Amino acid sequence: MWGICFDSKLFQCVVEYETCTDSTTVNIVYPVEGLLIAADKIRKLENPPQFFNGELVSPVNHPEIVGVIREIGWHFNNQDYMYFITVNGRKRNKRYYNKDLIKQ
């Protein structure tokens, strides 16, 4: 499952998690593995992100540029995933949304 973490260790990060058998804690799988957090510190997201870390993508308006997803975030006002990419080893500061990127 995917959610937003409100624990101080991963505050406002998009995380993939598994609910533990006791239902009071969750095991974080992404972006770090093996971290246990209280279940009430996670806000569940309905859908998984369209793109994942390490995937090759291009901006829709510049298909000649190929980048790698380096970070996945959540835009609270737009209620949508946002992505940050690296192009030729350089971090781009621009936020990209699902509609802005295509897979390579």
Q: What is the pLDDT of residues 4-63, one digit of tens each?
A: 999 999 999 999 999 999 999 999 999 999 999 999 999 999 999 999 999 999 999 999
Q: Domain range holding 26?
A: 2-45
In terms of domains, do 10 and 37 share one? yes
Asked whether residue 75 is assigned to any structural domain, the reply reads yes
CA distance 64 to 58: 7
Amino acid symbol at 17: Y
Comparing CA positions, the residue from 61, 54, 63 lying closest to residue 83 is: 54
> Is there a single domain that holds both residue 60 and residue 99?
yes
Q: 36 and 64 in one domain?
A: no
Same domain, 6 and 34: yes
Domain match, 14 and 39 both: yes
- Looking at the structure of the chain, the number of domains it has is 2
Residue 17: strand pairing partners: 28
pLDDT reported for residue 88: 96
Would you say residue 51 lies in a domain?
no
Q: What is the pTM of this model?
A: 0.87
Distance between alpha carbon 25 and the CA centroid of its chain, in Å?
A: 20
